[in-house]
Amino acid sequence: MEILKTSNKEEDKFLHQKTKDVDLGSFDATELREIVRSMREKMIEADGIGLAANQVGLDMNMFVARDSGKFYTVINPKITKTIGEVVAMEEGCLSVPKRQGQTQRFEQVVLEGLSPNGKKLKIKAWGLLAHIFQHEVDHLNGIVYTDHAKNVVDFSNS
């Protein structure tokens, strides 16, 4: 499992496509657990805090994330509510290495989806976790943060 990069034309094209919803009935529990485990390992190995399935070449509407020592796996995520102000935050991406830019995101969101075992999830998130959820849902909708970021800085020569 390798992380796709926007610098590769074919990979960038895939990253800019909306992912397909996951039909949990089409996976056995072991297969889905293995996908989630592999994605978490890849995210940790790359020192990331979120990883959407399409970033590793899977056309699946799901992501893994971590914040404050807690891991999240959300299948078919949807942001159902935005709360508060839109705030600017520095953002990076494993698919856009060595670049950072400033994005505008809501300070709080409500995210709904499914756990890997099919349980309905509803998570109210704020701060960094809200930012992560919005970033990952964008990925799954074919949007890379550099599509709307301001002041993108390239650190590849640093």
DSSP string, 10-48: HHHHHHTSPPPPP-GGGS-HHHHHHHHHHHHHHHHHTT-
Candidates 97, 109, 99, 98; CA nearest to 135 is 109
Residue 114 has pLDDT above 90, yes or no: yes
Q: Over pLDDT 90: what percentage of the chain?
A: 87
pLDDT of amino acid 27: 86
| CB-CB contact of 64 with 71 (8 Å) | yes
Residue 156 has pLDDT above 80, yes or no: no
User: Is the pLDDT assigned to residue 109 strictly greater than 60?
Assistant: yes
Q: For tokens 């959820």, what's the residue?
A: 133
Does the pLDDT at position 61 exceed 80?
A: yes
pLDDT band per the 50, 70, 90 thresholds, residue 148: confident
What is the pTM assigned to this prediction? 0.93
pLDDT digits (tens, 9 = 90+) for 129-140: 999 999 999 999
Residues 4-47 have pLDDT tens digits of: 999 999 999 999 999 999 999 898 889 999 999 999 999 999 99
Active site amino acids: 136
